[in-house]
Amino acid sequence: MSDAAVAPLLVTKPRGLAVTTERGPVRIVLIAVGVIFLALFLLLPLAAVFVEAFRAGLSAYYASITEPDAVAAIKLTLLVAAIAVPTNLIFGLAASWAIAKFDFRGKSLLNSLIDLPFSVSPVISGLIYVLLFGLQGYLGPWLQSQNIQIIFALPGLVLATIFVTFPFVARELVPLMQEQGTQDEEAALSLGASGWQTFFRVTLPNIRWALLYGVVLCNARAMGEFGAVSVVSGHIRGKTNTMPLHVEILYNEYNFAAAFAVASLLALLALVTLVIKVALEWRYADQIAASRRH
Amino acid sequence: MAGARGLALKRPSAIPGFGLALGFTLTYLSLIVLIPLAALVLKAATLGFSGFWEVVTGPRTLAALRLSFFTSLYAAAVNAFFGVIIAWVLVRYRFPGRRLFDAFVDLPFALPTAVAGIALTALYAPNGWIGSLLAPLGIKVAYTPNGILIALIFIGLPFVVRTVQPVLEEFDRELEEASATLGANRRQTVFHVILPSLLPAILTGFALALARAVGEYGSVIFIAGNIPMVSEIAPLLIVIRLEEFGYAQAAAIGTAMLMISFGILLFVHLVQAYARRRFGQ
């Protein structure tokens, strides 16, 4: 990894032998194609968010993110993430403990079921809860008789968010804990530590960076989720609108500057997420599970 | 996986907490994921087989499913091509800003889809930065199926790059040297030695991008124009049916989409099983 620091500002430094790399012009063309594609498809949209956000001026920007509906949306987004992320964190710890530390029947099935939410469309992730808890859903009439509202209210938003962020923590922890094995825990137990002591003093320190990595990714998705929460939210302004939904409403009202102003906050969250992610990958590469794909 | 475990549910172990951890995991998984998904299929089943078939093959649904699937396919193909080049460039070459570009590959994972959607629309609208350049050429992107393609390329790119990159990093350079020693020129080495062993990773990345794109909603609806039969994607049709209180219809379209997703995942599974046998990865 350190070779980047000493690499001169040249595109011609081959890493291997001359026969195992391409000729200079080919290299330059490939680098150009890759860089232009990334700039065009990734950097330009990001830049557009900030340019559009400040188009109407700084005071308009400030007004857009401090008006009551925007503040309510920001608070709701934080609240939903504050419930959904810790819940999935606890689940991730339990699932990875069971899968990584024990050998049992149906383990690989369980492992693939955990990834299931990633292959479900966000809209379906919201739809399933409407079918269960909506007014015409399976439990709708009973919930109404008990005066409990789930759909078009906070519980529905939280459930949909938990569903779409379900695998994040577990999928970071399972491979790492499988790699680490059980020797450390067995040593602690044989020296007289209790189960919980072993967990908190041995296992948790071993996995803390991978845990943080998973939580950061989980949080980014939780705060930014659109499709699933859109289906269960009901779009009640100032009440059940999270930030991405607030962006949609402003945008559909042709209030572009305000829409992009709120969107820029979410883009900022994405940038912070990327910075933390890269920092963790650099510093603690060996303590984060090898699998980096999502 | 160790083989014979006899009839016992689990292997004996000195580690405590199995019952608690597995019990909690299974309960949570059932409540959050399995039961709700079962409710979807159950709701779709209330239509009966012929009713389900009628909804799924209705002209508007079929057009939406077709649009979602084929646009996703094209987007995944574009991503497979450029994703391999990007992974190659990031792994094999050193150039200024490489680390930064490497980090930015994950942007579509981190950026909320609605934000991506309005940003892409602003860029590709007829008066946008890119749209205004394309308009004189007679190319319309925003509010047409082209716009959907752009959005799906955006969200799918990291899947290919991040699946191919680690395999390329691990690739044994000695194979390339051997190939060169045996008289192959560089092009032959790349196309006959390196790319074939990257193929499982490329196919996996392609399929993951495809699976994600088929269900994508947030980044698409802003740029698509959402005209029924022309630029209306399947997830949007679910939302529309839901707003009309057509719960069973929405569930039927959702079930059809789930089946498509699972088909794609099965493909990934088979590719990876093949790769393990063939290349021992």
Q: Which residues of A touch B28 (CB under 8 A)?
A: 91, 94
Between B142 and A1, whose confidence is greater?
A: B142
Reference B203, options B266, B146, B152; nearest CA is: B266
Q: What is the pLDDT of residue B2?
A: 43
CB atoms within 10 A of CB A291: 13
CB atoms within 10 A of CB A276: 17
pLDDT, averaged across chain A: 89
Q: Which residues of B touch A98 (CB under 8 A)?
A: 18, 21-22, 25
User: What's the first-to-final CA gap in chain B, in angstroms?
Assistant: 16
pLDDT, averaged across chain B: 91
Cα B124 from Cα B117, distance rounded (Å): 11
Cα B238 from Cα B244, distance rounded (Å): 10
Q: What is the pLDDT of residue B9?
A: 75
In this model, does residue A16 exceed pLDDT 60? no
Alpha-carbon gap: A35 to the closest alpha carbon of chain B (Å)? 8
Note whether B119 contacts A49, CB cutoff 8 Å: yes
**Residue type (1 letter), B23:** G
Cα A185 from Cα A195, distance rounded (Å): 9
Note whether B112 contacts A41, CB cutoff 8 Å: no
- The pLDDT tens digits for A117-147 are 998 999 999 999 999 999 888 999 999 999 9
Mean pLDDT over residues B223-245, rounded?
93
In this model, does residue A86 exceed pLDDT 50? yes
Helices (H) and strands (E) in chain A, counts: 16, 0
- What token pair was written down for A187? 């040593």
Q: What is the pLDDT of residue A7?
A: 46
Q: What is the pLDDT of residue B1?
A: 43
Q: C-alpha angle A250/A253/A258, rounded to 5°?
A: 35
CB atoms within 10 A of CB A70: 22
Rounded to 5 degrees, φ, ψ at A249 are: -60, -50
Provide the ipTM: 0.90
Measured in whole angstroms, the distance separating CA A260 from the mean position of its chain's CA atoms is: 21
Reference A101, options B252, B15, B65, B43; nearest CA is: B15
Q: How far is CA B174 from CA A15, B181, B190, B281, in A?
A: 13, 10, 13, 17
Mean pLDDT over residues A24-39, rounded?
93
pTM of the entire predicted model: 0.90
Buried b (16+ CB within 10 A) or exposed e, A231-241: bbbbeeeeebb
B195 near B90, Cβ under 8 Å? no
DSSP state of A104: B
Cα B228 from Cα A263, distance rounded (Å): 28
- What token pair was written down for A168? 């994040």
In this model, does residue B5 exceed pLDDT 60? no
- What token pair was written down for B181? 């020693």
Alpha-carbon gap: A146 to the closest alpha carbon of chain B (Å)? 20
**Residue type (1 letter), A207:** I
Q: C-alpha angle A134/A139/A145, rounded to 5°?
A: 90
Between B279 and A123, whose confidence is greater?
A: A123
Note whether B17 contacts A199, CB cutoff 8 Å: yes
Alpha-carbon gap: B138 to the closest alpha carbon of chain A (Å)? 20
Round the CA-based radius of gyration of chain B to a whole number and report it: 23
Confidence at A285, pLDDT banded by 50, 70, 90 = confident
Alpha-carbon gap: A237 to the closest alpha carbon of chain B (Å)? 17
Cα A269 from Cα A273, distance rounded (Å): 6
Nearest by CB: B176 against A20, A267, A290: A20
Note whether B162 contacts A260, CB cutoff 8 Å: no
Alpha-carbon gap: B41 to the closest alpha carbon of chain A (Å)? 9
Provide CB contacts within 8 A for B268, sequence distance 6+.
B203, B204, B207, B208, B211
Cα A245 from Cα A230, distance rounded (Å): 7
Torsion, Cα of A220, A225, A228, A229 (10° steps)? 110
Reference A100, options B85, B87, B21; nearest CA is: B21
Nearest residue on chain A to B16, alpha-carbon basis: A195
Q: C-alpha angle A99/A103/A109, rounded to 5°?
A: 55
Please, how many CA atoms are within 13 Å of residue A39, restricted to the half-sphere of its CB? Answer: 9
User: What percent of chain B stands above pLDDT 70?
Assistant: 96
Q: C-alpha angle A84/A90/A91, rounded to 5°?
A: 85
B199 near B168, Cβ under 8 Å? no
**Residue type (1 letter), B83:** G
Q: Helices (DSSP H) in chain A: which residue ranges?
A: 3-6, 24-38, 44-53, 58-66, 68-101, 107-114, 122-133, 140-145, 154-164, 168-180, 183-190, 195-198, 204-224, 227-233, 243-252, 256-283
Q: What is the pLDDT of residue A202?
A: 94
Q: What is the pLDDT of residue A287?
A: 79
Alpha-carbon gap: B129 to the closest alpha carbon of chain A (Å)? 9
Note whether B93 contacts A270, CB cutoff 8 Å: no
Rounded to 5 degrees, φ, ψ at A104 are: -145, 165
Cα A232 from Cα B14, distance rounded (Å): 45
The residue with tokens 């559009």 is A52
- What token pair was written down for A159? 């459930």
Q: Which residues of B touch A220 (CB under 8 A)?
A: 109-110
Note whether B115 contacts A244, CB cutoff 8 Å: yes
Note whether A116 contacts B208, CB cutoff 8 Å: no
Q: What is the pLDDT of residue B40?
A: 95
Q: How far is CA B242 from CA B104, B236, B250, in A?
A: 36, 10, 6
Cα A71 from Cα B82, distance rounded (Å): 40
Round the CA-based radius of gyration of chain A to a whole number and report it: 23
Nearest by CB: A270 against B89, B110, B190: B110
Cα B159 from Cα B155, distance rounded (Å): 9
Q: What is the pLDDT of residue B184?
A: 86
Note whether B120 contacts A19, CB cutoff 8 Å: no
CB atoms within 10 A of CB A135: 13
Confidence at B185, pLDDT banded by 50, 70, 90 = confident
Cα B71 from Cα B146, distance rounded (Å): 9
Cα B225 from Cα B233, distance rounded (Å): 10
Note whether B101 contacts A35, CB cutoff 8 Å: yes
